[in-house]
């Protein structure tokens, strides 16, 4: 452990510094290098991530793939930065880590079967989207729990969002913003044609969701789990992976909960 200049103890001994390939992130990386004796991510117990939300998601997915999950503290050098903290080139990272608050989030696990029968398992931190591959609308059967809830959803697509991802693609598709501790998922249609009045559902996150593609030869559908895409989907099964929690670090007063609340009062 190291002491910050404000006297607080930084709980992390080995820190990794990661940056996206944008010029701003690279400049910040060079400026922060002299602050610490950084270690490779494989040896670290905390990751300092410079970039935007996309790079943070990429970093968290790399942790999941590697099987070693450590806390991540992001500094926004991208566009929105919903998962990030404010970047300040004058700040000392040890001070910020010493004061940071932790928030655990659980990803969605997608078990997908493609039309050739191949099975795939992917995780999504924000959302899983099913999207039509051609100009033909998709037709999807929606099962929640043990019951078929919609026999035929005709749409451009449908997505399932976590609370952490509810202000991303889900919000753009007119889905609800979910409080981080709500223990629910948003099931949101994308440009629904039939049932025309159906606007989606809010579901307990303990429930399993199954989406089966109807008429796949004429109406092929792709599945996207955050940044990873599978094409020619037959069906996907979705549930929260409670046993695989990720940890994000935020500055005081800049928690993910506050950002989710604040997003609902934005007036343009």
Which residues make up each annotated binding site for NAD(+)?
53-54, 126-127, 156, 164, 167-172
DSSP string, 72-105: EEEEE-SS--TTSEEP-TT--HHHHHHHPEEEEE
- H/E element holding 223? strand 221-225
- H/E element holding 262? helix 256-263
**Paired tokens of 14:** 């080995």
Cα(203)–Cα(184) distance, rounded to whole angstroms?
A: 5
Closest CA to 190 of 141, 115, 132, 262: 132
Active site residue 53: yes
Contacts of 151 (CB under 8 A, 6+ apart): 141
Own/partner long-range contacts of 63-69 (Cβ < 8 Å, ≥24 apart): 63/246, 64/107, 64/123, 64/244, 64/246, 66/42, 68/42, 69/244, 69/245, 69/246, 69/247
Catalytic residue, from 53, 65, 181, 215: name it: 53
Q: Which residues line the annotated binding site?
A: 53-54, 126-127, 156, 164, 167-172
Evaluate whether 262 touches 82 at the Cβ level (below 8 Å).
no
Q: Which residues are annotated as catalytic?
A: 53
């Amino acid at each position: 452990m190291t002491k910050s200049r404000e006297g607080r103890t930084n709980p992390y001994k080995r820190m990794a510094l990661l940056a996206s390939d944008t010029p701003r992130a690279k400049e910040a990386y060079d400026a922060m290098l002299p602050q610490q004796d950084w270690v490779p991510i494989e040896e670290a117990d905390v990751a300092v991530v410079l970039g935007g939300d996309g790079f943070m998601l990429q970093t968290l997915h790399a942790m999941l793939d590697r099987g070693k999950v450590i806390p991540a503290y992001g500094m926004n050098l991208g566009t929105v930065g919903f998962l990030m903290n404010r970047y300040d080139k004058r700040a000392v990272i040890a001070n910020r880590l010493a004061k940071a608050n932790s928030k655990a989030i659980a990803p969605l696990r997608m078990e997908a079967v493609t039309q050739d029968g191949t099975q795939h398992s992917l995780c999504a931190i924000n959302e899983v989207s099913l999207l039509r591959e051609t100009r033909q609308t998709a037709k999807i059967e929606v099962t929640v729990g043990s019951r078929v809830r919609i026999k035929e959803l005709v749409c451009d697509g449908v997505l399932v969002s976590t609370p952490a991802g509810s202000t991303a693609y889900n919000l753009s598709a007119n889905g609800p913003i979910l409080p981080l501790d709500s223990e629910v998922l948003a099931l949101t249609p994308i440009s629904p044609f039939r049932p025309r009045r159906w606007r989606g559902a809010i579901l307990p996150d303990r429930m399993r969701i199954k989406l089966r593609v109807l008429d796949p030869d004429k109406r092929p559908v792709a599945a996207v789990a955050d940044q990873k895409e599978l094409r020619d989907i037959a069906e996907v099964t979705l549930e929260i992976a409670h046993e695989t929690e990720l940890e994000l670090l935020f500055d005081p007063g800049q928690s993910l909960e506050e950002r989710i609340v604040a997003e609902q009062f934005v007036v343009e």
